[in-house]
């Protein structure tokens, strides 16, 4: 029996990314290539199928590029396989739970200038970058670093534990996100990390 090829071509991923993101842009192409590079470095051949329970992805920016990453990896926020750390950096870390290793792939700042050099005939930086990011070698687009990521059991999909109620607001708290002060259990919001105040 011939095994079906599970990774798609960049062109096929572009169609899926445009659907998921609402438009095709340089960020989609960069994000797809970033994720494909991460999968290749980790040796994962079927991230949305056979290998799907092995993979956790961290993203570091809430921009176009981030939407393209789950298209390749299948890692989604609601499945706890996509983690957002708001560092404002075009980078993602791909963690292989089975092999206990992780690689961080970050976009090189020089890639934009390279895109201008490669395609001066194309008007508009987005279209220029789209063309360039399709063809540039990975080492011109990205820097990589093998890293260690500490993932406690409470970070992983499928984690189950009691859900204590916050002593102040009464809301239930999952995944050990509670803050314990003496004998008082608080949610992070009530403990001072809130991003909102009563209107």
- For Zn ion, the binding residues (CB under 5 A) are 25, 27, 64, 166, 168-169, 187, 190
Angle at 26 between CA 63 and CA 58, to 5 degrees: 40
Q: Closer CB to Zn ion, residue 56 or residue 187?
A: 187
* CB atoms inside a 10 Å sphere around CB 170: 9
Quote the CA–CA distance of 82 and 78 in Å, as a whole number.
8
Nearer to Zn ion, 168 or 174 (CB): 168
Least CB distance to Zn ion at residue 166 (A): 3
Complex with Zn ion: residue 82 or 187, whichever CB lies closer: 187
* Burial (0-12, 13-18, 19+ Cβ within 10 Å), 50: exposed
In whole angstroms, the minimum distance from the beta carbon of 49 to Zn ion comes to 27
Distance of CA 49 to the CA centre of its chain: 17
Q: Provide the minimum distance between the beta carbon of 163 and Zn ion in the complex, in angstroms, as a whole number.
A: 13
Nearer to Zn ion, 77 or 172 (CB): 172
| Nearest approach, Cβ of residue 115 and Zn ion (Å) | 16
Is 111 or 187 the residue whose CB approaches Zn ion more closely?
187
| H or E segment to which residue 114 belongs | helix 110-118
Instruction: Report, in Å, the least distance between residue 68 CB and Zn ion.
Output: 9
Sheet with 101-107, side-by-side order of all strands: 82-84, 55-59, 91-96, 101-107, 142-147
Residues 121, 132 contacting (CB under 8 angstroms) = no
């Amino acid at each position: 029996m011939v095994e079906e090829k599970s990774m798609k071509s960049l062109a096929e991923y572009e169609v899926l990314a445009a659907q998921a993101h609402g438009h095709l842009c340089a960020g989609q192409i960069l994000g797809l290539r970033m994720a494909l590079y991460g999968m290749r470095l980790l040796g994962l051949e079927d991230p949305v199928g056979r290998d799907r329970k092995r993979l956790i992805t961290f993203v570091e920016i809430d921009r176009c590029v981030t939407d393209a990453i789950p298209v390749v990896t299948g890692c989604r926020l609601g499945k706890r396989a996509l983690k957002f750390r708001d560092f404002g950096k075009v980078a993602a870390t791909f963690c292989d739970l089975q092999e206990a290793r992780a690689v961080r792939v970050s976009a090189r700042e020089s890639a934009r200038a390279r895109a201008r050099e490669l395609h001066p005939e194309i008007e508009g930086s987005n279209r220029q970058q789209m063309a360039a990011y399709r063809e540039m070698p990975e080492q011109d687009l990205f820097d990589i670093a093998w890293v260690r990521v500490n993932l406690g059991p409470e970070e992983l999909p499928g984690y189950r534990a009691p859900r204590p109620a916050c002593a102040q607001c009464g809301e239930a708290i999952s995944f050990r996100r509670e803050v314990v002060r003496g004998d008082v259990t608080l949610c992070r919001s009530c403990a001072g990390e809130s991003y909102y105040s009563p209107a």
